[in-house]
Amino acid sequence: MRTLSSLCGRRIVTESGEALGRCHDVRAELGASRLRVTGLVLGRKGHLEHFGIGAQASASSARVRDTDVIPWKDIVRFEADRIVVRDSVRRPGEG
């Protein structure tokens, strides 16, 4: 992985091979002195958020839910064309 933006568009699969979708964006939190990556955004609503639709903190129906974000800690490895996550991660909307 060279940059965080290189993750966008990659397929996300579980360790056992279940396809979950594609990475559309990266979530991060700004701390006092650095940016900390917290997760990957996927799913249809994640794709919209990448373009700024529903990304505001308002009660937009297109707002990405926590179930559309894979926590960074659940990433197992990065491969050339896909991101492998723990089998415990669920498909968006399956919460």
Tell me the CATH number at 46. Answer: 2.30.30.240
Model pLDDT, residue 60: 45
Q: Considering the domain boundaries, does residue 90 fall inside one?
A: no
Q: Considering the domain boundaries, does residue 78 fall inside one?
A: yes
Of 1-5, 43-47, 67-71, 74-78, which range is least confident? 43-47
Q: Considering the domain boundaries, does residue 93 fall inside one?
A: no
Q: Considering the domain boundaries, does residue 61 fall inside one?
A: yes
Q: Considering the domain boundaries, does residue 20 fall inside one?
A: yes
User: For the segment 20-31, what is each residue's pLDDT rounded down to a tens digit?
Assistant: 999 988 888 999
Q: Considering the domain boundaries, does residue 80 fall inside one?
A: yes
What is the spatial distance between Cα 72 and Cα 69, in angstroms, rounded to a whole number? 9
Residue 77 pLDDT > 90, yes or no?
yes
Residue 28 domain boundaries: 4-85
Total number of domains in the chain: 1
Task: Please list, in sequence order, all residues whose beta carbon lies within 8 angstroms of the beta carbon of residue 74, skipping any fewer than 6 positions away.
Answer: 85, 86, 88, 89
